[in-house]
């Protein structure tokens, strides 16, 4: 029998609002992170700085020790950055387990247009993980993560470029590994949900259009560079573009059709 691994609920990651939308499943949380093009990574710049910092970064969940681990198993979060950036310096200088970070991923799947502004919402998927970031120093692990991250931008791209990176490239690129200690996700799907005070008011229902506008990320026709010498767009690129477009659209449209649970408000 299968089992579902979940992140432990703690005050820091427990969802208190719309609890039925919350998920602590590793699979759901890791999937949202891995399908998001830009992650937002937060860290404290130091005791003298009042404000937390946020950096947009490219990253991916994976396991160097168990590369065949599936998405619902314990994984690390690998983040790609530049050698002299502030987060890398902080991680390099951090003591103990590493630099405490929070990694967030969010996708909008639809605009929920209800009778009242208060019942408006998005269909969306969001996830956060919290953990300790350390620089990857092992060369094999670094290469593993670089390939993982490159292929997350476009499937199979790594093997179809000039690899491996040379000395200068290896040293200018820094990979952070976040050991995850906590995580949570939130998924909203379904349609419009209004309250009786409005659905029973004909003056309102006769003039306010309600429904959902699906939203998804579209990849356009690949545009070759001036220097490109490969005559045709390779199959792995056009297949990726087609699969993303179909999958993204399908998710956004299917999300609308999901039956809302009874307790759902907006």
Q: Which of residues 223-252 bind its own copies (CB under 8 A)?
A: 223-230, 233-234, 237, 241, 249, 252
CB of 211 to its own copies, least distance (A): 4
Contact code string over 185-224 relative to its own copies, x by CB under 8 A? ------xx-x---xx-x--xxxxxxxxxxxxxxxxxxxxx
CB of 137 to its own copies, least distance (A): 18
Residues 217 and 248 sit within 8 Å (Cβ to Cβ): yes
Question: Position of tokens 């993980």?
Answer: 129
DSSP-assigned letter for residue 9 = P
262 binds its own copies (CB under 8 A): no
Stretch that binds its own copies, among 1-9, 21-29, 134-142, 167-175 (CB under 8 A): 167-175
Residue ranges in 65-94 that form contacts with its own copies under rule CB under 8 A? 82, 84-86
149's tokens: 């991250």
Residue ranges in 3-62 that form contacts with its own copies under rule CB under 8 A? 12, 16-17, 37-38, 40, 42-45, 49-54, 56, 58
Mode of pairing for the β-strands spanning 173-188 and 121-135: antiparallel
Reduced to 3 states, what is the DSSP secondary structure of residue 33? helix
Mode of pairing for the β-strands spanning 39-43 and 99-113: antiparallel
Considering beta carbons, is residue 66 or 261 the nearer one to its own copies? Answer: 261
Give the integer Cα–Cα distance in Å for 203 and 253: 30
266 binds its own copies (CB under 8 A): no
130's tokens: 């919290």
208's tokens: 């306010």
Per CB under 8 A, the list member of 162, 167, 196, 262 interacting with its own copies is: 162
């Amino acid at each position: 029998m299968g089992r579902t691994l979940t992140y432990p609920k703690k005050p820091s990651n427990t969802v208190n609002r719309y609890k039925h939308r919350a998920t602590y499943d590793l699979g759901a949380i890791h999937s949202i992170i891995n399908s998001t093009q830009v992650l937002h990574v937060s860290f404290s710049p130091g005791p003298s700085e009042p404000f937390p910092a946020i950096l947009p970064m490219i990253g991916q969940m994976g396991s160097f020790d168990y590369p065949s681990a599936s998405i619902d198993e314990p994984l690390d979060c690998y983040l790609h950055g530049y050698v002299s950036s502030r987060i890398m310096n902080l991680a390099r200088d951090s003591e103990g387990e590493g630099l405490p970070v929070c990694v967030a991923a969010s996708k909008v799947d639809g605009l929920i247009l209800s009778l009242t502004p208060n019942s408006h919402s998005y269909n969306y998927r969001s996830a956060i993980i919290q953990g300790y970031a350390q620089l990857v120093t092992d060369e094999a692990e670094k290469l593993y993560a670089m390939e993982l991250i490159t292929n997350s931008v476009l499937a199979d791209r790594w093997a179809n470029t000039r690899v491996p990176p040379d000395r200068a490239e290896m040293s200018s690129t820094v990979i952070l590994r976040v050991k995850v200690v906590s995580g949570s996700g939130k998924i909203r799907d379904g349609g419009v949900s209004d309250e009786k005070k409005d659905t029973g008011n004909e003056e309102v229902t006769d003039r306010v259009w309600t429904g959902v506008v699906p939203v998804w990320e579209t990849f356009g026709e690949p545009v070759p560079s001036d220097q490109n010498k490969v005559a045709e767009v390779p199959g792995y690129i056009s297949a990726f573009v087609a699969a993303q477009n179909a999958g993204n659209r399908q998710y956004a449209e299917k999300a609308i059709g999901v039956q809302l649970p009874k307790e759902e408000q907006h």
